[in-house]
Amino acid sequence: MDNSLQNIYIQTLPCGVKFAFKKAPSPVAYCALSIRSGTRHEPEELPGTAHFAEHMLFKGTTRHCQREINNRLERLGGELNAFTTKEETVVHSTTLKEDIGKSADLLFEIVLSSTFPEKELIKERSVIIDEINMYKDSPAERIYDDFEELLFGNHPLSRSILGNAKSLKKISTKDLQSYAESRFIPPALCFTAVADMEPEVVVNMVEKAISRHLNGTKEIENPLQATFGSESSLDKGTIFRKEISRKNHQAHCILGTSAYSLYDKNRLTLLLLCNMLGGPSSNSRLNQSLRERSALVYTVESSYTQYSDTGTFAIYFGCDKGDVEKCLSLTDKEIGYFRDGRMTETQLKAAKKQLLGQHAISSDNGEVQALSMGKSLLSYGNVMPDSEIRRLIEEITTEDIRRVACEVLAPERLSTLIYR
């Protein structure tokens, strides 16, 4: 498939790996290998397995040791990195375009033939436990994990990506090998690249890399989402009001709820609403109200995270412990502005322009493009053209904003978690 509107070439390779390529004039090539393997897919009794497996991908394969893997691209001036979310693991690289073949080969090697050596596992376990302890020292980050744990209860999405020290000590080389054998297989892989090359050349490199490192396949249940465009998933999640005593100088607060999934037709409307409420720009309504006019906070932000069957919408702020209630009152006032339908056509037009501008600017980066294509290909089996995203955003009305604000941010749906 050739997505000519934005020069994106898409196809499914014979082995089942999905492939997307965008030609861009640059001496640098960006590659990403996205895997449907996240926190929600790991064994319930071994939380942290997916993230642990991601760390261990760099520690040795059937062909190369840890030192050789680290040197493979870095000696060429390139970079190799990875991250894990609740629904995916992504390994990505940046190299000169003439080295894209080496890059593709290495990505498939570490994903398809890692050995998870015991010696390296013991060392990396300590590194991750240090990461967990460091995370606990950052209440502005830790509160999001605690919020989703309360929101999703016993659902796999409630688990922390990092796991915990107790579970990490149980995870063995055999556990990681078993997990990789069941999840790191062609039908669950998407390879994306942005480079100044012809797509057929890159396809050939990728197919050679796969053939070198693929050692049999094992089917997994629903590796790619099969049903698109599902209706609202707002019934997921519990409602709570909880305060936890923390010895921090500031109070930290999240006000939030479950939200639309990746496949819900209302997701772009909620994304636009999220950007207006507490997006990255200083002119967001919450930043203007809580920081600029009232000087109550240094940071206030809203976020919308989409999963395959649900999502989360959260508003976070940190303030003096005695100002929490005032900040919550001002936040409710700003949400009420949209629930009451007071937004004007002029404001909506400006908000669309801002969101589309932010999207265009952030996308003017090869690495962002490769990662974004991987996410889209993994989730939808396709890459939506920028023109289609623009069209859908332009079609949003003030009534759509009001309706979504009332549906998602109704007072009776909002939960609160406070560190104080």
d(CA 178, CA 213): 17
Q: Give the C-alpha separation, 268 to 399, whole Å.
A: 14
pLDDT in tens, 355-391: 999 999 998 999 999 999 999 999 999 998 889 999 9
pLDDT, position 35 = 98
pLDDT for 228 equals 34
pLDDT at 266: 97
The closest of 128, 12, 132, 114 to 64, measured between CA atoms, is 114
Give pLDDT tens digits for 41-64: 999 999 999 999 999 999 999 999
Mean pLDDT by runs of 10 across the 420 residues of the chain is 66 95 96 97 96 97 94 94 98 97 97 96 97 93 96 93 96 97 95 97 96 69 42 63 92 97 96 97 96 97 96 97 97 98 97 96 93 96 92 98 97 96
Q: What is the pLDDT of residue 58?
A: 96
What is the pLDDT, as a whole number, of residue 7? 83
110 and 64 Cβ atoms separated by less than 8 Å: no
For the chain, the average pLDDT equals 92
Q: What is residue 2's predicted lDDT score, i.e. its pLDDT?
A: 46
Q: Nearest Cα to 132, choosing from 160, 154, 151, 153?
A: 160
Alpha carbon distance, N-terminus to C-terminus of the chain = 54
> For the whole model, what pTM was predicted?
0.92
Are 112 and 214 a contacting pair, CB within 8 Å?
yes
Supply the pLDDT for residue 229.
38
- The token pair at 78 is 């390139």
What domains does the chain contain, in order, with CATH numbers? 2-213 (3.30.830.10), 241-419 (3.30.830.10)
